[in-house]
Amino acid sequence: MEEKKVVKVEDIKKEAEEKRCPVQRALFYVEEFLKGPMCGRCYPCAFGSYEAKVRLLNITEGKAREDDVGALRRIADEMLISSFCKKGKDTARFLLEWLDSGVFQEHINGICPDAECVEYIRYWIIPGKCTNCGKCKRVCRYHAIMGQTRKHQFSTGYLPYEIRDRRCTCCGDCVDVCPTGAIVVIQRKTGEAVKGEEEAVAR
């Protein structure tokens, strides 16, 4: 019989820290904590972790309400005081650490500063920099890019490339293959470029 691997909360936190956005870190951590280390013996930790997951999903999916951040802090405070074991208390400390970053409130205001929550960002092709080479369209697995590939370098009259927002998953494959840096990530709310050409702003 294969021995079940023991997952430590410290290992989950270490993996969560690989993500840029503190909200994504917290969500990843809580989801992994619920899958493994959480024993479910005390209500503050068990119920608190599940409620924290729901609140964090609201934030990452762009459905955050003003009270979500306050609720997460309340959950973490109660877990820190009332959890029976070190795992629950450590989870509370990790949540409070990420909450203190201030990034959660920015999500409530519609901004993901680290451009990792896909509901807060979109990809945009800068018309003046796009050469209609077609590399982005060929690499897109979701058929989110439309336009015509330029057959000859100096040909004109081809439809410019555009990204269909509803199909785009913000995977980043198109950014990686674009030879001219014509694809940038922008904040949905402000139109401010967050990756690539800093001066590029959606019109």
Residue ranges per structural domain of the chain: 9-108, 118-195
pLDDT for 136:
95
Indicate if the pLDDT at residue 98 is higher than 80.
Answer: yes
pLDDT for 195:
58
Indicate if the pLDDT at residue 198 is higher than 70.
Answer: no
Q: Mean pLDDT over residues 176-203, rounded?
A: 78
182 Rama class: left (phi>0) / alpha (psi -120 to 50) / beta: alpha
The size of the chain, in residues, is 203
Kind and range of the H or E run holding 27: helix 22-35
pLDDT for 70:
94
Smallest Cα–Cα separation from 187: which of 106, 89, 120? 120
Q: Mean pLDDT over residues 116-141, rounded?
A: 93
What's the mean per-residue pLDDT of the chain?
A: 88
- Give, in words, the CATH class of 118-195: alpha beta
- Give, in words, the CATH class of 9-108: mainly alpha
Cα distance between residue 41 and residue 71, in whole Å: 22
Torsion of CA 168, 113, 14, 99, to 10 degrees: -120
8-40 tens-digit pLDDT: 889 999 999 999 999 999 999 999 999 888 888
Q: Where are the alpha helices (DSSP H) in 36-184?
A: 43-60, 66-82, 86-99, 103-108, 135-139, 173-177
133-185 tens-digit pLDDT: 999 999 999 999 999 887 655 555 567 899 999 899 999 999 999 999 999 99
Indicate if the pLDDT at residue 203 is higher than 60.
Answer: no
pLDDT for 156:
59
Quickly state the pLDDT bin for 92 (edges 50, 70, 90): very high
How many other CB atoms are found less than 10 A from the CB of residue 88? 25
SS3 181: coil
pLDDT for 160:
82
pLDDT for 153:
57
What is the share, in percent, of the chain residues with pLDDT greater than 70?
89
Q: Mean pLDDT over residues 106-121, rounded?
A: 93
Higher pLDDT, 160 or 2: 160
